[in-house]
Structure 1
Amino acid sequence: MTSRPVPVNKILRQDEERAALVESYLHDHDMIPPSPEVSEVSDSDIGIKDRYDSIDYLSFVLIGIAMLWPWNCFLSAAAYFQERFKSSQFLRDNFQSCIMTTSTITATIAMIVLSYQQKHAKYTSRVWMALVMNIINFFILALTSIVGGSWAITPYFLYLLVSVFFSALATSLSQNGAFAISNLFVPVYTQGIMVGQAIAGVLPSIAQILSVVSVENSRRNEDDNGKETTSASSFVYFLTACGITAVSLLFFLKFYRTHRAVINLAGLVLGDGNEMQQPTRRHVPLLVLFRKLHYLAFAVFYTFGVTMMFPVFASNIVSVNYDDGASAPSSWLRPNVYIPFAFLIWNMGDLIGRVICGYPQYVIRSPSVLAVASIARTIFIPLFFLCNISGSGAVISSDGFYMFLQLWFGITNGYISSCGMMGSESFVEEDEKEAAGGFMGLALNLGLAAGSLCSFILVGIIQ
């Protein structure tokens, strides 16, 4: 069994002369901002990766929220897009799968490219660039909800896919950068990202439900008035993504300013004669990471692959107690409220599963057990077929049964995926942790891509 290499930060703590050399190098290269809190590289600065700070944790939670808020906006707005594409049966039936496929394939290709660009990677730049991209992208999307109402269906659909493309690209950049950075600190920061992603699912669902309810009375008026009200509601809905992302950007910049020296030290290596070489990272081949993390990577991959069946079911399963035109307009059982409510239940379950992983005693640490647990989630797919798909009738005629399935489908997704992402840093060497974070992000996106492609088959079966 090979011995673990001694990481640079431990060498520096053992040798005061080298620590002074690092301090001098950082100042000479302007890697430490001229502020009192980080004016020197002390032992506590270098060892900060072992300490927990609530503000830092909140920063990662906000990054997680900004990471998936746009994606969940697309999913939670299913009823809105159904209304936009109602004159085209093909687009109405397949827009969800088209959105998922465009997003996941884009994200997967981007993650593969980013995973091979480790040596001189600037992970912090990837994060803030991604956040800026999403602010611009969703501001434009919000504007089109007002000024694009007269667009023909096909141009709007093509624009929507372009918006999804840039959103997926931004998500890939932020995932790759955020998971790599969090792996340099305590594992709970990685869990913070996962929790933030779950919150990003809950809040858009709530916003969409409130948005639909707030404009319900307009349905009794002429179509033009209803469209104006719906457009205004959508504008506010998509604009929230800009606001959330802007707040996340501010917190991330503050986090980077505080820990700039520690983050940059991850890219320094000692050369001959104890001189500090230019910032670089050892390239870790993906095959090496796969050999060490194959069970964890599979668990994350398969978990999200199965999970991608959920949007198709959630968009097509309706209440067994709702008859079109029979219920009161304010009834929550109508599809344009029932559908986002199902998304809300799933996302609440997902959040619960990820929060549980914040308690070490409840975390599964065996990679093989996680892999088996991910496979066991397949049972949810046939269970969903027992529900009222497209109003064709249900084998188990109960809305409670359907919501119960959604809740546990979400809990298992959040729990297994968080255990897998958090566990990666325990099975790699110190100088492989950043690359491991990016690799697990790649496994996540491969799962999403595989699941989104399979969702087309599921749509065919359901229709």
Structure 2
Amino acid sequence: MKVREGAPEDRGWLVAIIFFILGIGTLLPWNFFMTASMYFNERLSTAEGSNTSEWSNGTVTPRKDYYFNNWMTLLSQLPLLLFTFLNSFLYQRISEKVRIAGSLVFILICFLFTAILVKIPMDQDRFFYVTMATIWFINSFGAVLQGSLFGLVGLLPQKYSSVFMSGQGLAGTFAALAMIFAIASKADKEAAALGYFITPCVGTIITLLSYMLLPRLDFARYYLKKDKSSCYEVETANQLLDRDLSADENGKRNGSLSNDPPPNTDENKQAFVTLEHGSTCDKKLSVMEVFKKIWVMAFCVTFVFTVTLSVFPAVTVDVKTAYGKKWEPYFISVCCFLIFNVMDWIGRSVTSFVCWPPKESRVFPALVVSRVIFIPLLMMCNVQERSNFPVLFHNDAAFAALMIVFSVSSGYCVCLSMSYAPQFVEPKDGETAGALMTFFLALGLSLGAALSFPLRAVV
């Protein structure tokens, strides 16, 4: 969608900045939750009230194996997929403000609760179950929030979708930096954990305030409320025409009406102009009708995330450095997480300036499918322990180079898919397209996470 003629100016790119913040806000809480995995393993490795266990190179082996990382992955993807799917159908029954603002408020409450738990002694089993419940609720509300915001940004010109996606990419960069600082920090582990959860609370509040500012901006009101005003115009036009036709019929019955056209009033002129040029207030397409128009982009975003999540981080996190012990604690944090998130963000941001291939081109789906080559290439890096595949890339630089291309292509293809999809439908169906694309995004994440288990076992 291009900027419409007569649209107000986005002064100071304020609307773009707000959607950038909203993009960060959708993924920032969960990314910070992921970086706190060391804290959760610490709590699960000690008895109630005991702080005797030590971290070793950023990892902890719990006394009882809770399979925390496996359950965390499962209970994050299931609600994400479920509630994104429900949001595709139920968004028309629940107002946008309730879905977005309500989700942000509940996410804030979940993180405040998690921060409070840092100071509350609790036995391991109870802490595990409470944490799993928190993960479920955060991802449930996060799915509704993300789907609603994708639908909202789909009503604006394409570059705003790119800005929103760029913000999401930057959220992961913040999380990766937090992980590095945590490893380098000598601070008390409990204080560090408290800081982890307070930070996303502040970020969520800023996101909520930014969303509340959006309706006050002329540029945002023009695009987000235009459909309603168009509906009013065509309804008025129809009423005027019905009134004239009714008068014409009554006149014919009474034999007192000539064959002259109806009065050429300003109201009637506007009515006929409105009907002649059409209106955006036509009946919205069904979910299936919208899907038929955007299915190629839906496939692309699903396939991109399936490839990405199948090896990152399940396989890449087990790559070992070829250099000394001083570099080893930082190797995965830098070469895996930081490089991926920074380059993924760059890939998303590039689409604000370059959009190639075009949305109708068959080259784009082919480019997406070609990324499958990264699966065997990353599996042949120095992943340890391994039993089947040979190690083809021993050097750290080779692994880092693969991660750069892998992550840039992921961010670029995802952002193009999400930006192109609303362009295949009318503006009135942009929100439905955005909600559907978010569901297929979540589907790709789930498929990739499921595929990661057998791929890691094969290595």
Instruction: Specify the TM-score bucket, using the shorter chain as the normaliser.
Output: 0.7 to 0.9
Aligned residue number for residue 333 of structure 2: 340
8 Å contact from structure 1 (residues 120, 281) kept in 2: no
8 Å contact from structure 1 (residues 111, 176) kept in 2: yes
Aligned residue number for residue 35 of structure 1: none
Cα shift at 1:82: 4.8
Cα shift at 1:158: 2.3
1:441 equivalent to 2:458? Answer no
Look up the equivalent residue of 1:339 and give its one-letter code: I
8 Å contact from structure 2 (residues 303, 444) kept in 1: yes
1:397 equivalent to 2:398? Answer no
Look up the equivalent residue of 1:177 and give its one-letter code: S
Report the TM-score when normalising by structure 2. Answer: 0.77
Distance 1:129 1:367, change over 3 A: farther
* Matching residue within 392, 405, 409 for 2:406: 409
Aligned residue number for residue 195 of structure 1: 166
Distance 1:262 1:387, change over 3 A: closer
Distance 1:208 1:178, change over 3 A: same
Gaps of 5+ in 2: 45-60, 243-280
- Find the aligned partners of 2:78 and 2:228 in 1 and give their Cα distance: 30
- Find the aligned partners of 1:146 and 1:374 in 2 and give their Cα distance: 46
Question: Which runs of at least 4 in structure 1 moved beyond 6 Å after TM superposition?
Answer: none
* Matching residue within 86, 98, 114 for 1:113: 86
Distance 1:139 1:407, change over 3 A: farther
SS at structure 2 position matched to 1:384: helix
Q: Superposed, which structure 2 residues align to 1:34-183 within 5 Å? A: 47-48=7-8, 54-84=13-43, 86-87=61-62, 90-91=65-66, 94-148=67-121, 150-152=122-124, 154-183=125-154
Distance 1:400 1:360, change over 3 A: closer
1:207 equivalent to 2:178? Answer yes
Cα shift at 1:292: 0.9
8 Å contact from structure 2 (residues 41, 62) kept in 1: no
Aligned residue number for residue 255 of structure 1: 214
1:371 equivalent to 2:338? Answer no
- Find the aligned partners of 2:446 and 2:283 in 1 and give their Cα distance: 29
Moved more, 310-319 or 263-272: 263-272
- Find the aligned partners of 2:37 and 2:400 in 1 and give their Cα distance: 18
- Find the aligned partners of 1:88 and 1:379 in 2 and give their Cα distance: 39
SS at structure 2 position matched to 1:266: helix
Distance 1:159 1:133, change over 3 A: same
Q: 1:77-126: per-residue Cα shift (whole Å, max 9, x none)?
A: 445445555225754xx433322222222111111111112434422332
Q: Superposed, which structure 2 residues align to 1:242-391 within 5 Å? A: 242-258=201-217, 259-260=220-221, 262-267=223-228, 269=231, 270-271=234-235, 272-273=238-239, 282-309=283-310, 310-322=312-324, 327=325, 331-334=326-329, 337-341=330-334, 342-360=336-354, 362=356, 364-366=358-360, 368-390=362-384
**Residue identity (%):** 25
Aligned residue number for residue 193 of structure 2: 234
Look up the equivalent residue of 2:115 and give its one-letter code: A
- Find the aligned partners of 1:73 and 1:242 in 2 and give their Cα distance: 10
Report the TM-score when normalising by structure 1. Answer: 0.77
Cα shift at 1:376: 1.4
Q: 1:301-327: per-residue Cα shift (whole Å, max 9, x none)?
A: 1111111120212432232324xxxx3
8 Å contact from structure 2 (residues 170, 345) kept in 1: yes
Q: 1:378-420: per-residue Cα shift (whole Å, max 9, x none)?
A: 1111112222323559442211222222222211110000001
- Find the aligned partners of 1:408 and 1:109 in 2 and give their Cα distance: 31
Look up the equivalent residue of 2:304 and give its one-letter code: T
8 Å contact from structure 1 (residues 387, 395) kept in 2: yes
Q: 1:264-292: per-residue Cα shift (whole Å, max 9, x none)?
A: 443463434169xxxx9945323212211
Cα shift at 1:426: 1.8
Aligned residue number for residue 33 of structure 1: none
Distance 1:262 1:373, change over 3 A: closer
Distance 1:371 1:385, change over 3 A: same
Look up the equivalent residue of 1:354 and give its one-letter code: R
SS at structure 1 position matched to 2:315: helix
Aligned residue number for residue 455 of structure 2: 458
8 Å contact from structure 2 (residues 23, 164) kept in 1: yes
8 Å contact from structure 1 (residues 208, 237) kept in 2: no
Q: Name the larger-Rg structure.
A: 2
- Find the aligned partners of 1:459 and 1:421 in 2 and give their Cα distance: 29
Look up the equivalent residue of 1:187 and give its one-letter code: Q
Look up the equivalent residue of 2:435 and give its one-letter code: G
- Find the aligned partners of 2:449 and 2:144 in 1 and give their Cα distance: 20
Look up the equivalent residue of 1:430 and give its one-letter code: P
- Find the aligned partners of 2:372 and 2:290 in 1 and give their Cα distance: 26
Q: 1:123-165: per-residue Cα shift (whole Å, max 9, x none)?
A: 23322112212211112222323435x531x333322221221
Aligned residue number for residue 6 of structure 1: none
Q: 1:234-275: per-residue Cα shift (whole Å, max 9, x none)?
A: 110222111111111111111123245752443463434169
Distance 1:369 1:377, change over 3 A: same
Q: 1:360-382: per-residue Cα shift (whole Å, max 9, x none)?
A: 45564345322222221111111
Moved more, 124-133 or 360-369: 360-369
Q: 1:187-246: per-residue Cα shift (whole Å, max 9, x none)?
A: 11111110011000001110121122112xx7xxxxxxxxxx112111102221111111
- Find the aligned partners of 1:370 and 1:84 in 2 and give their Cα distance: 46
- Find the aligned partners of 1:172 and 1:367 in 2 and give their Cα distance: 30
Distance 1:201 1:123, change over 3 A: same
1:426 equivalent to 2:423? Answer yes
